[in-house]
């Protein structure tokens, strides 16, 4: 047996395997970077400070437009929970020009955002328009423990609805109310396991909090935070 010929075949085989693995790793890295770069990213955020009068913004930081389908709010008062749709908000373009339009649905361009209203208006609903007294407004806010905001959108590269969710709690000290987020991050509901939850927000007449994804770890953690706050 020619050992030099055998060694050449072994080296050639090893080189082919290494080259194949290198290409597989390269393709995997390229695909991962592409998916990460094109992943939708939605933000629910304070406009400033922690006062209930602060504006609540919904921001599209994705690379593609999103079509807004539904905005839901859930207000917790002790053991009582009230959920409702938010239907009045102002569209703001990516160039920060206020179109002064009222809408229920519509596309949001990359870098664009919507003003959902102040947190007080969201939590109190029509009460904020009916009450002229700041004291009465403060009394109503003092009864609220937490707020959950949910947004459902259509994203171009997804065949199903995706969403964003963020939880806030209210702190009542010396007659003053402050609102804080449980986390610095907005929860991204963009995977298949979230499809049923987000679709429930879109379906008219369906209470999305009756069909929560029990496997959603972040939701269970938020529930434990709310329990600690109420206790």
Cα–Cα dist 39/42, whole Å: 10
Q: What is the DSSP letter of 211?
A: S
pTM over 0.85: no
Contacts of 32 (CB under 8 A, 6+ apart): none
Query: What are the backbone angles phi and psi of residue 188, rounded to the nearest 5°?
Result: -100, 115
Q: Report residue 115 as tokens.
A: 């003003």
CA atoms in the 13 A half-sphere facing the CB of 43: 14
CB contact at 8 A, 56 and 122:
yes
Query: What are the backbone angles phi and psi of residue 41, rounded to the nearest 5°?
Result: -140, 115
Which neighbouring-strand residues pair with 4? none
> pLDDT tens digits, the chain, 231 residues: what are they?
555 666 777 888 888 888 999 999 988 888 877 767 678 899 999 877 788 989 999 999 998 889 888 899 999 998 899 888 887 655 555 554 444 344 445 688 898 888 888 899 899 875 555 555 566 678 889 899 999 999 999 987 788 899 999 999 999 988 889 999 999 999 999 988 998 889 888 885 444 444 444 334 444 444 544 444 444
CB contact at 8 A, 106 and 91:
yes
């Amino acid at each position: 047996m020619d050992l030099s010929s055998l060694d050449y075949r072994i080296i050639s085989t090893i080189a082919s395997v290494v080259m194949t693995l290198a290409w597989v790793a390269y393709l995997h890295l390229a695909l991962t970077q592409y998916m990460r770069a094109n992943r939708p990213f939605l933000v629910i955020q304070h406009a400033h400070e922690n006062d209930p009068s602060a504006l609540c913004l919904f921001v599209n930081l994705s690379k593609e437009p999103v079509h807004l389908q539904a905005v839901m709010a859930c207000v917790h008062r002790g053991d009582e929970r009230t959920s409702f749709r938010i239907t009045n908000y102002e569209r703001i373009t990516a160039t920060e020009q206020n179109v002064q339009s009222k809408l229920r649905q519509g596309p949001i361009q990359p870098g664009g955002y919507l003003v959902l209203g102040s947190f007080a208006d969201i939590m109190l609903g029509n009460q904020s328009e009916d009450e002229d007294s700041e004291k009465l407004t403060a009394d109503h806010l003092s009864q609220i423990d937490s707020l959950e905001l949910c947004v459902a959108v259509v994203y171009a590269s997804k065949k199903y609805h995706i969403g964003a969710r963020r939880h806030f709690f209210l702190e009542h000290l010396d007659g003053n109310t402050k609102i804080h987020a449980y986390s610095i991050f907005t929860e991204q509901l963009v995977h298949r396991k979230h499809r049923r939850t987000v679709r429930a927000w879109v379906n008219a007449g369906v209470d999305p909090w009756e069909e929560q994804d029990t496997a959603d770890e972040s939701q269970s953690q938020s529930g434990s935070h709310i329990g600690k706050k109420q206790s």
